Amino acid sequence: MAKPLAGIRIADFTVHNAGPFCTHLLSQLGAEVIKIESAMRPDAFRKPHPVYGRMGPATFDQVASTKLSVRINLKKPEGIALAKRLVGISDVAAESFRPGVIGRLGLGYAALAAVKPDIVMLCVSSSGQSGPDSHFAGYAPLFGAWGGLGEMSGYADGPPIEMRHVMDHTVGMNAAVAVMAALHRRRATGQGGLVDVSAREVSSSLLGEALLLAAAGSELHRTGNDHPRMAPHGVYPAEGQDRWLSIALGSDAEWRAMAGIMHAPELADDPRFATAVARHANRAAIDEVVAVWSATLPADLAAETLQAAGIAAHASWTTPEIAADPHLRARRAIVDVAEPDGKERAAVGVPMMLSKGPEIGIARGTPKLGEHEDHVFGELLEMTDRERQNLQDDGVIY
């Protein structure tokens, strides 16, 4: 049995993070994704750059594993012609430039549909391919700001929170679902189509009830870690420097159990805390009580004790703790992959499991630029050695 998307080929013109994360997910589900770059204009994230203090292409690593890599210089007419040949043997063409760029290159949907009538074309952009703001440029922090998530995140007395990778990846996941829907329709009707994904609209779609309330004349504001009904609810200090414990308590029975765990059974019947309504009204006071208790314990021990009593709690883990988590390793949410130099590195796997068929996920590490040209140009496009050499000499394969 093959992986779910085996037999699907994607010509991947995407750059940066949101679009590449979409095709990265599809590659882990079995699609053959051919990443198109050039030495003159490699993906901006392939080049070493400081990402959260690390000098190296970590951002590219996380969205390029399992993909194939070829070089095509899209600044040359011959490069556009070669790209069209590749689209002609593909099921999906994906791009994430600012609207209008791919069309000016000669690779817009109409041009590609003329080459492959049933092509599914994915366009990921900040505000979509149409509308008054479609020309706006945007990166992940702007998506959250535009879409309202930033305004809803943070403390009431502080500024909106800047959203980063979570926005790019959420856009990529939405795009992956849309592409699979378009492929499903093509299988039923034989028709391809344009898939237009706006990062700004993805962000707005996550506002949920806040957006509906605003449309009805009400407005929600930043509430920090508060919950509309639950208390205690938030992140509390734990023993040690910069250690924290997340707690979400949902019932009176859980509160009584927690009062016993804190060795303060009298709190269970305290009129300020005895009911959910009272606890929420006095949440500032209850937060102080919980913080005094939690600060005396290691976060993991406190979480284990609360979980044993049926209370939702966990340490607020650092990224090294997550990377070493045996649970994520067991479920292959974190895997070790081999790089072209033979070394292994940890990688973030596909966040899902299927009970039938071969194991989905990352099959290999980050490709070198142009690493798979023998397969793509030689085997798939059946180009002769002389033809390839001429294109290299002319700077088309570069």
Residue that is written with structure tokens 């059974």 in the block? 265
CA 29 to chain CA centroid, Å, is 15
- Find out whether 117 and 190 touch, Cβ atoms under 8 Å: no
Number of H helices, E strands in the chain: 18, 13
Phi and psi at 255, nearest 5°, equal -65, -40
Whether 168 sits among the annotated catalytic residues: the reply is: yes
Calpha distance 375→265 (Å, rounded): 69
Phi and psi at 343, nearest 5°, equal -75, 155
Q: Please tell me which residue in 168, 196, 270, 325 is annotated as part of the active site.
A: 168
Calpha distance 155→149 (Å, rounded): 13
Helix (H), strand (E) at residue 212:
helix 209-215
Q: Tell me, what amino acid is at 393?
A: D
Calpha distance 99→115 (Å, rounded): 21
Calpha distance 285→85 (Å, rounded): 67
- Alpha-carbon dihedral angle through residues 148, 151, 154, 156, given to the nearest 10 degrees: -140
Token pair listed for 54:
């690390």
Q: Cα separations (Å) of 318 from 209, 245, 299, 302? A: 31, 12, 12, 17
Q: Coil, strand, or helix at residue 205?
A: helix
Lateral strand order in the sheet of 312-315: 233-237, 244-248, 312-315
- Find out whether 193 and 123 touch, Cβ atoms under 8 Å: no
Residue that is written with structure tokens 């707005």 in the block? 204
- Count Cα atoms within 13 angstroms, Cβ side, for 65: 25
Q: Cα separations (Å) of 45 from 9, 55, 60, 180, 239? A: 23, 11, 5, 26, 38
Q: Tell me which residues are annotated as active site.
A: 168
